[in-house]
Amino acid sequence: MIALTYDDGPSAYTPVVLDALSRYDGHATFFVVGTSVTRYADSLRRAVAMGCEIGNHTYDHSNLKNLSNVQVQSVVNRTGQAVKDLTGADVRLLRPPYGSYHGATFTAAGMPVILWSIDTLDWKTRSTSATIQCVEQKAYDGAIVLMHDLHQPTVQAADAIMKHLKSAGYQLVTVSEMAAYRGGLDAHKAYTQFRKS
């Protein structure tokens, strides 16, 4: 199992990822920014209908380390409510922008923090081939892969990445699906991977 995750969307490019997931019978986790939720409502609804998971990436990509507990609650709750209003889905996972958070984040947000074990650096390289190569070389059972669905080169890599992973025997699952088979989730913990214990 491997969990492909996409941050900073939804965006105009999100449907490309959803099309690829549909072709390869896969699920992914989308950590969405609240300010984009309404604008790309159709993609969000489609993702949920396909069995994908929607996670929380704050309302406006805030660095949680710089916010009070009340402010953390606000940027997390606003996003969760926006997703719930549009899709009916509950948001149960938080990915803090920049991977930045503090000890009180768990209590303030009321959900586990999901980090990553494979960082494609797609936001930096803006290279389809580099993103494909990174995932193909580093993939392992239980990995969480970090990508961003607001960059065109990243979404153009989706088909090749999924095709490779499926042919290598991976199931493309959401973070929560993988966690359910590997010991579950604790709302007061951060996770980078889910390896078989």
Residues forming the active site:
7, 148
Length of the chain: 197
Alpha carbon distance 18, 40 (integer Å): 13
Strand ranges in the chain using DSSP code E only, listed in sequence order? 3-9, 29-32, 53-56, 113-114, 118-119, 144-148, 190-191
Alpha carbon distance 45, 83 (integer Å): 9
Residue type at position 89: A
Helix (H) / strand (E) element for 87: namely helix 69-87
Q: Over the range 132-146, which residues count as b (16 or more CB within 10 Å of their CB) and which as e?
A: bbbbeeebeebbbbb
